[in-house]
Amino acid sequence: MGVVKKSDNGKKVSRRKFIAATIGGLAVGGAAGFTLSRLTAPAAPFPREIQDVISERKLEPDHVYGALKTYVPGGWQDEFIMFSSGGHSGQVLVFGIPSMKLYRVIAVFTPEPWQGYGYGDVKTMKLLEKGSNGIRFLTLGDTHHPEISRTNAEFDGEWLFIGDKLNARKASISLKDFETKDIVKIPNTQTQHGGACASPNTEYVSCGSQFPAPWEPGRGYKPGVTYVQLTETNYQEYFRGTMTFLRFDRRTGKFDLANSFQIELPPYMQDLEIIGWGPSDGWAFTNSINTEMAIGGVLEGRPPLEVAASQNDFDYLHIVNWKKAEEIVRAGKAKEMNGIKVITLDTAIKEGILFFAPEPKSPHGCDISPSGRYIVIGGKLDPQVTIYDIEKIKEAIADQRFQGEDPYGVPILRFEDVKAAQIEVGLGPLHDEFDDKGHGYVSCFISNEVVKYTLGPPDYTGDKPFQVVDRIPIHYNIGHLATPESNSPSPKGKYLVALNKWSVDRFPNVGPLLPQNFQLIDISGEKMRLLYDCPIGLGEPHYAKIISIEKLKPLEVYEMGTDPETFSKHPQYVEGKVGYERKKEGDRWVTEVWMTLIRSTITPDIIRCKQGDLVRIHMTNIETTKDATHAFAVAEYNVMASIEPGETATVEFVADKPGVFAYYCVEFCSPLHLEMAGWLEVEPV
Ligand code: K7E
Ligand code: CUA
């Protein structure tokens, strides 16, 4: 790190020196460098040519303002990093804020060749397979809600979590190397939606189901096994939702099912979920829809699901005392089902773990104000956000003030007893985020806007609590929105990203499948101001989490021989061999290879094996220079690995076809990159 300089938005920007790798690639692995110094910003006033650009391009003042607020020159740092779900691309996208530059796509649930994820690399193949949980080899995921690990409820920038709605899975990603470290299938659950959300110190990562799964009484749901005939009666009797608290080991990055627990829920569609802090510490919340328990069946004479599931004026906010649930589990009152301890619905009711509060009307979103006091739900079919007060909730529960119970016996609190306020905001309110000045921002899907309102004390202490104070149109069909470090005690304000589903007329027509549109909005002033439209041409992002860039401390290069699964030395690197041998393992022939990669040589550059051999290649990138990545791919074998500087990885494949196959480094790494190649000879047998 070099000189530190203030940029125009007052943010400290470090002037890093750029060490470019030597272009004398012949000097194998050389790291000699030269330094580029950045141009300093010109002193005002701007030269005439700037005016000329503005008039030539017919830019309006708003455009110029947006451009200046978002332009981050090369070599400068963005102020925030945004982790966005990649929707059904199955991945996570990493952006800079305010530049909206896409910096990285993290492979999670779907194979990704550039990162060598899922193409023979043993670690990633195992991850995908473990995450598939024996159902079939899943290469699809529908990512919705990213979460960052927390310390005292604040985002700490160490781990990232993301859920797969389609197959009820949860993944952890290390923010040391931006790689997926674990994928777990959530037991007794077919699809999941709410969460990931982390408990204040990331003891647990929680997630709720979406569509209830058929359960066999006392035995839960087993994918590919459990069958219950789908009728309205069976649905009510045998289908179940879940809320799962996955124990997370932040040392290894793994989820620990043996120390996790789950709460059985009625077959409503549990939706968004969040875990509280401060006054709501110990509590978790999820909104729900379809408390009608409709199953659809238009061809069978029933109304369509969307109609039948929208009858009730109120659905139920689920209020869960997870700390008490943890005690119940410790006391041995949970039942082991398919590898996880399950608190049955009856136990949850009897032990006072689960409560409902009415919420209008087929709601969406479930967010918590910075103080931890207010739980905010978007009305979706109701033009209001409904704000609950955890203090009132706790009081009403302590006084046992209930209006009755649901068909399963879950006690329902009185709406008036727990409500803090309702604010009429706009049509189709979905999700809420917060700033550092006591404001909430809600996305309105139908009226295409973001609406800003005031919270109540202690978040907002002015004289106009719970009132709309500003609105801004967005383009178009907004789902989530994201502000820096919202849904934690210390949101940072400044920017808001509207995650819009439709872009309609905002970009050139690139085919009927148009990009999604992330719109960056300036929220630093009283009035919101649109700064930038950013097309997203891969997948349909749902939620995003934004964190201050200083909180991230990623590795620059791996220590030599690092196994990225454990961040320790890969055993094969420790052996220190280079070369290969053919040997018998049980009754199968294995050709085991120890390989090094460095500009511009792959050693060995000839591997001879026999047809049918399992070829196992341990490869170490022995570069120490940042960015000096090599990749390894074998022609016609569908094998691809990415090996970052210092990394040791293993690929495995069966040499099932005879021939002589070129392998080569796939990253253009040096002038002699094309010569960085070798041959795999597979002798026919
Ligand atoms: Cu509203 Cu999955 Cu959070 Cu999509 S969800 S938008
Ligand atoms: Cu290494 Cu190209």
- Which atom of ligand 2 is nearest to 602's Cα? 1
Find how far residue 446's CA is from the centre of its chain. 25
Residue ranges, CATH 2.130.10.10, the chain: 80-551
For the segment 466-493, what is each residue's pLDDT rounded down to a tens digit?
Answer: 999 999 999 999 999 999 999 999 999 9
Going by C-alpha positions, the residue among 11, 172, 15 that lies closest to residue 83 is 172
With a 6 Å cutoff on the Cβ, whether 633 touches ligand 2 is no
CA distance 299 to 319: 36
> Any bridge partners for residue 374, and if so which?
389
Give the pLDDT mean for 148-152.
Answer: 98
Q: Dihedrals φ, ψ of 571, to 5°?
A: -55, -35
Give residues with Cβ within 8 angstroms of 43, minimum separation 6. Answer: none
For 562-683, CATH number out of 3.40.605.10, 2.60.40.420, 3.40.109.40, 3.10.28.10 equals: 2.60.40.420
Residue 245, pLDDT > 60, answer: yes
- As a 3-state breakdown, the chain gives helix, strand, coil percent values, each rounded to 5, of 15, 40, 45
Considering all CA atoms of the chain, what is the largest pairwise distance in Å, rounded to the nearest integer?
85
With a 6 Å cutoff on the Cβ, whether 163 touches ligand 1 is no
Q: What is the pLDDT, as a whole number, of residue 133?
A: 83
> Any bridge partners for residue 148, and if so which?
160
CA distance 281 to 275: 8
In this prediction the pTM is: 0.93
The alpha carbon of 554 and the centre of ligand 2 are apart by a number of angstroms equal to 23
Closest C-alpha to ligand 1, atom 1: 479
Q: Which ligand is nearest to the CA of 600?
A: 2
CA distance 518 to 530: 11
CA distance 427 to 131: 39
Going by C-alpha positions, the residue among 195, 158, 155, 102 that lies closest to residue 484 is 155
Q: List the single range of 19-28, 214-223, 383-392, 449-458 with lowest mean pLDDT.
A: 19-28
Q: Which ligand is nearest to the CA of 143?
A: 1
Question: For the chain, what is the mean pLDDT?
Answer: 93
For the segment 179-216, what is each residue's pLDDT rounded down to a tens digit?
Answer: 999 999 999 999 999 989 999 999 999 999 999 999 99
Closest C-alpha to ligand 1, atom 2: 144
Half-sphere exposure of 424 (CA within 13 A, CB side): 0
Residue 41, pLDDT > 60, answer: no
Number of C-beta neighbours around residue 464 at 10 A: 10
How many residues comprise the chain? 685
For residue 220, the 8-state DSSP code is B
SS3 346: helix
Counting DSSP H helices and E strands in the chain, the numbers are 10, 49
Residue 140, pLDDT > 50, answer: yes
Q: Is 225 left (phi over 0), alpha (psi -120 to 50) or beta?
A: alpha
Tokens representing residue 215 in the block: 């359960």
Q: What is the pLDDT, as a whole number, of residue 479?
A: 98
CA distance 57 to 116: 43
Residue 437, pLDDT > 60, answer: yes
**Amino acid, single-letter form, for residue 389:** D
685 falls in which pLDDT band (50, 70, 90)? very high
33 falls in which pLDDT band (50, 70, 90)? very low
User: Residue 666 to residues 28, 638, 673: CA-CA distances in angstroms?
Assistant: 17, 13, 8
Residue ranges, CATH 2.60.40.420, the chain: 562-683
Given a contact cutoff of 8 angstroms between Cβ atoms, the answer to whether 443 and 453 are in contact is no
Give the pLDDT mean for 144-159.
Answer: 98
Q: Which ligand is nearest to the CA of 194?
A: 1
For the segment 318-349, what is each residue's pLDDT rounded down to a tens digit?
Answer: 999 999 999 999 999 999 999 999 999 999 99
With a 6 Å cutoff on the Cβ, whether 543 touches ligand 1 is yes
Residue 347 parent element (H or E): helix 345-350
Q: Which ligand is nearest to the CA of 545?
A: 1
- Which atom of ligand 1 is nearest to 430's Cα? 1
For the segment 86-116, what is each residue's pLDDT rounded down to a tens digit?
Answer: 999 999 999 999 999 999 999 999 999 999 9
Statement: 80-551 belongs to CATH 2.130.10.10: yes
For the segment 549-571, what is each residue's pLDDT rounded down to a tens digit?
Answer: 999 999 999 999 999 999 999 99
DSSP string, 286-310: EEEE-TT-----GGGTSPPHHHHTT
The alpha carbon of 364 and the centre of ligand 1 are apart by a number of angstroms equal to 8
With a 6 Å cutoff on the Cβ, whether 88 touches ligand 1 is no
Residue 378 parent element (H or E): strand 374-378
Tell which one of 84, 536, 542 to mutate to probe ligand 1, the residue whose CB is within 8 A of the most ligand atoms.
542
- Which atom of ligand 1 is nearest to 501's Cα? 6
CA distance 220 to 670: 56
**Amino acid, single-letter form, for residue 654:** V
The alpha carbon of 375 and the centre of ligand 1 are apart by a number of angstroms equal to 17
Given a contact cutoff of 8 angstroms between Cβ atoms, the answer to whether 415 and 317 are in contact is no
Three-state secondary structure string covering 501-546: CCCCCCCCCCCCCCCEEEEEEECCCCCCEEEEEEEECCCCCCCEEE
The alpha carbon of 650 and the centre of ligand 2 are apart by a number of angstroms equal to 17
Q: Dihedrals φ, ψ of 122, to 5°?
A: -60, -45
